[in-house]
Structure formats: C-alpha cells, structure tokens
Structure 1
Amino acid sequence: MGTIYQGPPPVIQDLKVTLEDTSLVFPAQETQRKSMFLSNIDQVLNFNVQTVHFFKAHPDFPPEIVTQKLKNALCELLVPYDFLAGRLKLNQGGRLEIESNAAGAGFVVASTEFSLNDIGDLVYPNPAFRQLTVQSLDSLGPDDQPLCILQVTSFKCGGFAVGLSTNHATFDGLSFKLFLQNLASQAAHKPLAVIPCNDRQLLAARSPPRVTFPHPELLKLKIPVGTDFNPPVFDRSQEDLDFKIFRLSSGHVSHLKEKARIGATNPATTKITGFNVVTAHIWRCKALSCDAGDNQDRLSTVLYAVDIRPRLCPPLPPSYSGNAVLTAYATAQCKDLEEGPFSRLVEMVSEGAARMTDEYARSAIDWGELYKGFPHGEFLVSSWWRLGFAEVEYPWGKPMYSCPVVYHRKDIILLFPDIDGVASNGVNVLVALPAKEMEKFQTLFHKFLA
C-alpha cells in the first residue's frame, strides 16, 4: 500500500530570499470606518497563520505580471473584506475587536536565487519556507501591524510562491479558502466567487450566558482582574523534538475504514470517514507512545476541530468569514486504546463530533464569555487535508501545492494533503515528538495499521 514513513529528504535550509519591495495596499474604494465585533471563538485566536502556494512558470503570466494582478486583486478585496485592512485593538471594556480603519494590508515583492526544482519535495515541511512569508512590517509599530500580508516570491525558473500571513482572528480554514477563491476571481477580473458574510454577531454569546454542558475540553485560567491576556491555544514546548511525516495512501485510508466497519456497534450512526479513522489511529499511537510510566489507567483526550456552520439553528451562512470552528473531544483510558477494537475508537471520535449540536456550540461560546481559557487535551489533530487550497483556479492555473508554514509542536499533529491534492485521498501526518516517544509512535503506527 505504499511507503508509510518518509525520512527527511535533502532540503535547502536557506532559500536566499531578497525582499525587493515592501508596501501597504489600501481598499480600492472608500470604506466605512467602524469597529468589528469579534466572537469568543475569534478572541482566543490572536496569532498569525502562514500559508504558501507554489505555482509553476506560465508563459503568459511571468512573476511581474502576477505580482501586479495580485496587488490589484488585494486592493479590490479590501472593500468586501474591509476588516482585513483594519487593526486589532482593545475596546473600552478590554475586549479585542477590529478597527476597520483602512490602514492597509501588507504587500511584499521578493525573489530567490533558486528554481522550484532546487527546493525539492514541496510536501516536506521545510523550515526555510518561512522565508516565503512576512509576518510583520518593520516600518510599523507593534499596534499598527497589518492583519494580512501577501508576499510574491519569484524563482529563477519563472515559477513563484504566494505566501500569505493572516491573523487567525480574521479567518478559519474554510473562510480562508473562500478568500483565496475571491483573490483568484479578482485577479481574473471576474465577479466575487462568494460574497463574504462579515457579521460576527451571529456567534455572539447569549444574554445572559448559559453554560449548559460541563465542557471538559476547555480549560479555565485564573487571570488577575484587569490583566490583558490572550492565551495561546497550546503552550509552545521547548523540548528537543524529532519530526517525521507518515504518508497514508488512499489504500491505507480504505484499509482503516474497513477495520472500523468490523465490529462496529453503531454502524448506522458512526461516521466512518477518512478523517475519523485517521484521527482514531493517530490517537491510539500518540497516547500509547507517551513516556508516562504505567500508561494503562491514564486518560487520554484527543481534540479536533468541527465546523459549526451547518450545526447551528438556523445554520450560519456558508460564506461566514470568521472562525466558526469549535473543538470536539474524545477521551479513553490507555488500556482501552491499546486493547479495545479499533471500531470503538472511531465511534468515540464520531460521537465527539456528533456532540456538537446547536445547544452545545452555544454553550461553548457562552463559556468563553464567562471564563478566560482555551481548548485543553493531550493533543490536537489539526487538519488541512480537505480544505482544498490547491484546488483554487487562478488565471495562471492551480497551485502545484499549498501548505501551512509549520512550527513543530508536540501537542499538535497536522494532517495535510499529498502533492496530488484532495483527489488522491491520501494524507500526510506530521508528528513532532521527543526521540524516544517518536520511536515508539512509529512502531505503533505500523503495528496498528496492519
């Protein structure tokens, strides 16, 4: 069924990127100055996310033409996405919001001495890809940083990379995909692919807040009164970590689905999806590789994101531009993860997502109104697998590959697509662990896949 573990290929650690021009771009038309409410989901996501989108050379679209088209497209988009040209601020009550003040988005033009062929396997998370995005502009102060910075880096071969750094408070993965579709449509001088719904009040807490579930997936923090604090979703580990990619082919995923069907006690209600079976497989391996002495009675909790747009009553518009993803969870003792049937683990992952009803989601949002805190579990499975960034059709074609810029974290396992995109049904699993745990994880990954 193909190679499972991929060792690190030779990678260029310095792409020798030269920043040729850095500027601010502004909305193409005058926009209304206003403050934008941010939901309690947006509130805890005040950090930057970077993605890189690689494109082959195109005879009709050399990098300088692409650069101008993207610059113009971004200016046009800053009208329907007026908040993206704004700045984060705290209101008088100390709550984070966006001041839509047309202060501008960042635009960077860069070049590298290398060709795309020189940098090798695009799927492999090369730390040097960080050079293809800019997170902040040195010319601006810390309180005046753009919420979006787009960088076009041209390669010697005529190919190029489009790097985007956006504050996570602006988009989740699904709404960012719609933003990319709109960027592509504006670059082609076409109407917007999707008109964004920017009303974040749709996810406002109820008044008064009503927390109707215990929410063990959320951790309260004791913050002194008057303290301005935006917690990280997970603490960044300072440990020395090995990282490896485990490639699951479509055949592997089909095999895991078949294993899940055998012995399933609730076949009618359990969703045996690719995501659910891969998450269950990872959960078992991660929990049992933990170096915690006698693991048998230890509880392990896996967290994973669930899109709440279709789960609310009434449903959120699919075009909702903010963060509409909440954290689902599954918890089990390690001995059950080791000895229990795989079908039961998949059922627990499926049940975790099914738990996310309208009332549960509203309760979680209300919890965020009452407490400072963030998702809490042993680790999070963060999936870029089915987002389809590489399916976006630009005037110069689809990307060769689209990927997040990866920062290795023990408590986050990333799923991202293979080079053939969502059509291949294969998935890459990026794991970062201390050496001893990684060795055990790799052994278990093979053992439980058999």
Structure 2
Amino acid sequence: MAPLEFTVRRSEPQLVPPASPTPTEVKPLSDIDDQEGLRIHVPFIQIYRKQESMAEKDPAQVIRQALSQALVFYYPLAGRLREGPHRKLSVDCTGEGAMFIEADADVTLDQFGDSLQPPFPCFNELLHGVPAPQQITDTYLLLVQVTRLKCGGFILAFSFSHNMCDGTGFTQFLKTWAEMARGATEPSVPPVWCRELLMARDPPRITCNHREFEHVPETDTGNGNEDDIVLRSFFFGPSQIAAIRGLVPPELQHCTTFDLLTAYFWRCRTKALQMEAEEEIRIMVVVNSRPRFNPPLPAGYYGNAIAYPAAVTTAGKVCENPFGYAVELINKVKGEVTEEYVHSVADLMVSRGRCLFTTVRSLIVSDLRRFGFRDIDFGWGKALYGGEAKGGGAFPAAMYLISHENANGEEGALVPMWLPSKAMERFAHELYDTLPK
C-alpha cells in the first residue's frame, strides 16, 4: 500500500512572546542540562479528533493564546541559548518567544488509518524548521505547528530544546499549557528553576564509574549504513508482554514491563545487527533522578535531572545466555543512579568538556509511558496519539517506549525503531517469530 501523501499549507512562522512582561536576565543552565548529548531539539506530536463542543473554536488560536500565557510562567523558554567559556550554556531571557506556525492539511484523520504512529506520513510538513543540533544557540527553544485537518481534527507538533528540559520537565510545561487552554490562569504545579542544585562541585570530583561516557574507538557502530536506515514502530500489548514474562525464571518475575521489553528489544536488535560474539555492546537506561535526591529535587523543577547509566557486556553473552541475563543487567543498572551519581556526572561534564555519551554499539532507552502525553487536553479531550514523533532521530540508536492504544482498543507499549533495512527484516522476524505462542 502506497504511503499517505497530502498537502500542507503553512502560514509564515511567527514569534509568540509571553502574554505579559517577564524578567530580562541571563540564567546559567546546570552542568547536567548542557551536556553534549542533550544539544538537540526533540520532536513530539499530539493528534486530536474533532469535538462538537469545540466547533466554534479554532485550535490554532486557542493553543497559540495558551502558549503565550504559559510562557509568562516558563519565561526562560521564550529566551535564547548562549554559549560562554568552556562551552557553558546559559539562557538569555529575552522574551522573544516561541516560534509558531498555523497550517491546514487536505486530509482527514480517517485517511491516516493505522499510521497514527511513527513514521508519520509527511511529518516534515507537519513540523517545519526544527533547528539542527549544531544550531541550538541564538534560536528559538520551542517550535510549534498546529495543522487543522479537513475533518475538524488537528495535529499539534512541536520540538523543544532538550538542554532546557527533560521529559518530566517538558511534560510539566505541556500540562500548564493545556490548563491555560482550558481556562486556568496559573499553573497547578508552579515551575522551579534552581539549576544551581545540579552544578558541578568545586573542585569537581568524579566519584562513580560512568561507562556511558567511555571513549570507544569508532569501528563499525553496529548501526549499519546510515543511508539505508528505516523507521518502523512495534506494538506490544498484554498478551505479548505476558509471553515475554514467561521467558524469565521465577526469581526475576518481580521485574517491570520496562525491564522485560527493553531486554527483549535489545536482544532481538543485537541478533538482527549480526555483531561478532566478542564485540562489546552497551545499553543505557534513562533514569529520572528527582526522587533519588535527599531531600528530593523540588516539585516543579523542570530542568534535566536524568542520568543514563550503561550496562556493558558482549553481543555473544546477550544473544546466547538465557533471556534472564539481559533482564537482570537492565534491572541492576537502573539502581546505580543516586544523588552522588548525578553530582559525579555534573563533575565529569566540567572535567571532560561536556563529552557525548558512547555511541559505538550502544542503545539508549527512555520510558515515556508514565508522562501521560495522550492525557494532555487542550479542550478537545484526550489525544489519539501523544508522544515522540520520529523515534531516535538525531541518534538512531535511541529507543522510546510510548503508551499507545492499538486499532483493537488494546493498551500497550509502542516502540519506534531505526535500523538498516536488511537488519530491520531480521529484527521483525526475531521480535515476533521467536515469541512463545
């Protein structure tokens, strides 16, 4: 079946400043915020059906006005990043605003059929002008496009600077934005800056083992020919998850669905990439460190408070050991993140020039299911799809678990995956054909 194609007519992009005057100041980011791996814009997409009760309302106008109100409270997002000595990033709170695009598409939601998941047809038409990683300074920190559809539904696509927020932080902003659209005058959770809490110590001292930042010589990255890379999404509902749980021994039955799915996808991906048995591979798990601080980081803290510790092993061990081996590695590595671990990462950033995480034969996994993107309601009810728009994007070996309801009404996890086309065929075979029936 040919992919869906449609035309999008976009207005000229316009800046949306905060609705009322905001402080003009320069605020340094934390040393967790401005690491190399976060110098990207992350694209998300929210898809909404027509609502009869909102028939008189223009979604673009409602969302734009609410954005302007939300930026009063989150005014640093209306500013611009600047780079100082030693590549230190600060946000210049200029009040210039977020970039906003209004658009119309000659297509209905029904025409999307089952493709309400990555890869989205014509996605570059639905979000136009995302800054490249090398262009993150002196440009907008938030890009928004509202595309009205012929059926009365609409698509809200946006990208935000990862240096400003992690998933928890941006979800907090998104909830405030939606609250404003529904008539609130202030956030239910007030934003907290406090980036000094995650600055490097003086003098910096790296106290933990950070295998996620090891320098590994660039050989074959295990990602194949970058020109031949394709994106597919895979849905796992309750029956598939139960089948995977059946692969682990009794002593690991307490493990989470995240541990199971991550281990299973990692193992199938490693087999599909046909790495040599002795090759070293690593998996990095994104962990929200907020509750691991004592006292916890303040409610409302919207900066980056993530760490992504790495489990390191060989391709042979992951593929040939019983499945429980990979599950145990993932379960154990999540526990490495403590308050001291995060301070040690901040110190490492200052000591080693804000280095990038290890990309060679690596997979980095983030669980977006708990953020409730589908529950974000701008007045049109729940989203049909809410979450990451392009899978790994800037780093193809990034994997997201997204909360999703399939065409049969089953709740489960959707996992977009980038792989070279031949490896993708092998991966799909490994994923489904080796699953216990």
TM class by shorter-chain length? 0.7 to 0.9
Amino acid at match of 1:204: M
Counterpart for residue 369 of structure 2: 385
Measure the CA separation in 2 of the matches of 1:53 and 1:10. 24
Counterpart for residue 91 of structure 2: 98
The answer to whether structure 1 residue 87 and structure 2 residue 80 are counterparts is yes
Amino acid at match of 1:334: A
Counterpart for residue 207 of structure 2: 212
Q: Which of 287, 294, 319 is the equivalent residue of 2:300?
A: 319
SS of residue matched to 1:183: helix
SS of residue matched to 1:375: coil
Deviations 1:100-150 (A, max 9, x none): 11111112111111111122221242251232223359xxx9864211122
Moved more, 202-211 or 433-442: 433-442
Q: Report percent identity of matched pairs.
A: 28
Counterpart for residue 180 of structure 1: 174
Counterpart for residue 225 of structure 1: none
Listed as ranges, the gaps of 5+ residues in structure 2 are none
Shift of 1:159: 0.8
Amino acid at match of 1:27: P
Using structure 1 for the length normalisation, give the TM-score.
0.85
Measure the CA separation in 2 of the matches of 1:78 and 1:410. 31
Shift of 1:323: 1.3
Q: Which of 402, 412, 423 is the equivalent residue of 1:416?
A: 402
Counterpart for residue 229 of structure 1: none
Amino acid at match of 1:201: E
Q: Which of 36, 40, 46 is the equivalent residue of 1:47?
A: 40
Cα 1:331–1:424 change in 2 (3 A) is farther
Counterpart for residue 255 of structure 1: 243
Shift of 1:94: 4.2
Measure the CA separation in 1 of the matches of 2:151 and 2:350. 52
Measure the CA separation in 1 of the matches of 2:77 and 2:428. 42
Deviations 1:392-434 (A, max 9, x none): 233221112113221656422333232369x955112222222
How many residues are matched?
Answer: 419
Shift of 1:332: 2.2
Counterpart for residue 246 of structure 1: 234
Shift of 1:333: 2.6
Measure the CA separation in 1 of the matches of 2:232 and 2:137. 37
Amino acid at match of 2:205: R
Q: How does 1:18-33 map to 2 (within 5 A)?
A: 18-33=9-24
Cα 1:57–1:17 change in 2 (3 A) is same
Counterpart for residue 155 of structure 2: 161
Cα 1:30–1:157 change in 2 (3 A) is same
Cα 1:343–1:150 change in 2 (3 A) is same
Shift of 1:384: 2.8
Shift of 1:296: 2.4
The answer to whether structure 1 residue 330 and structure 2 residue 276 are counterparts is no
Cα 1:144–1:410 change in 2 (3 A) is closer
The answer to whether structure 1 residue 11 and structure 2 residue 3 are counterparts is yes
SS of residue matched to 2:401: strand
The answer to whether structure 1 residue 56 and structure 2 residue 37 are counterparts is no
Amino acid at match of 2:244: L
Amino acid at match of 2:427: F
Amino acid at match of 2:386: S
Amino acid at match of 2:277: Q
Counterpart for residue 259 of structure 2: 276
Counterpart for residue 124 of structure 2: 130
Measure the CA separation in 2 of the matches of 1:271 and 1:88. 44
Listed as ranges, the gaps of 5+ residues in structure 1 are 1-8, 223-233
CA RMSD of aligned residues (A): 2.7
SS of residue matched to 2:129: coil
Deviations 1:60-118 (A, max 9, x none): 32485322222221111111101011011123554111101111111211111111112
Shift of 1:274: 0.8
Which 4+ residue blocks in structure 1 deviate beyond 6 angstroms? Answer: 234-237
CA contact (8 A) 2:223 2:419 kept: no
Measure the CA separation in 1 of the matches of 2:78 and 2:223. 29
Counterpart for residue 378 of structure 2: 394
CA contact (8 A) 1:134 1:165 kept: no
Measure the CA separation in 2 of the matches of 1:284 and 1:350. 15
CA contact (8 A) 2:223 2:420 kept: no
Moved more, 30-39 or 436-445: 436-445
Measure the CA separation in 2 of the matches of 1:344 and 1:236. 26
CA contact (8 A) 1:47 1:167 kept: yes
